[in-house]
Amino acid sequence: MTRGSGLIGWIAHRLFSSGGGRALPGPVSPGDALAETSRLVVRLGGREVLAGVSLTARAGEVLALVGPNGAGKSTLLAALAADLPADEGLVRVCGRPVTEWPARELALRRAVLPQSAALSFPFGVEDVVRMGRAPWAGTALEDDDDRVVREAMAATEVGGFASRPFSALSGGERARVALARVLAQRAPLLLLDEPTAALDLRHQELVLRICRDRAAAGDAVVVVLHDLGLAAAYADRVAVLRGGGLAAEGPPGEVFTGELLSEVYRQPVEVFPHPRTGAPLVAPVRG
Whether 91 contacts 39, CB under 8 Å: no
Residue closest to 167 by CA, chosen among 120, 132, 203: 120
Instruction: From residue 83, give the alpha-carbon distance in Å to each of 87, 103, 110, 148, 236.
Output: 13, 11, 11, 26, 25
What is the β-pairing status of strands 189-193 and 220-224? parallel
The predicted structure's pLDDT at residue 4: 45
**What's the rounded Cα separation, in Å, for the pair 132 and 145?**
9
- List, run by run, the mean pLDDT of 10-residue segments along the chain (287 residues): 47 49 88 98 96 98 97 97 97 96 95 83 91 94 95 97 93 96 97 97 98 98 97 97 98 97 97 93 92
CB atoms near residue 40 (< 10 Å): 26
Fold that domain 6-18+30-284 belongs to in CATH? Rossmann fold (3.40.50)
The predicted structure's pLDDT at residue 22: 81
The predicted structure's pLDDT at residue 122: 80
DSSP string of 83-141? SS--SEEEEEETTEEGGGS-HHHHTTTEEEE-S----SS--BHHHHHHGGGGGGTTSGG
Query: Where are any strands of DSSP class E within 31-87?
Result: 33-44, 47-58, 62-66
Q: How far out from the chain centre does Cα 261 lie?
A: 23
The predicted structure's pLDDT at residue 23: 86
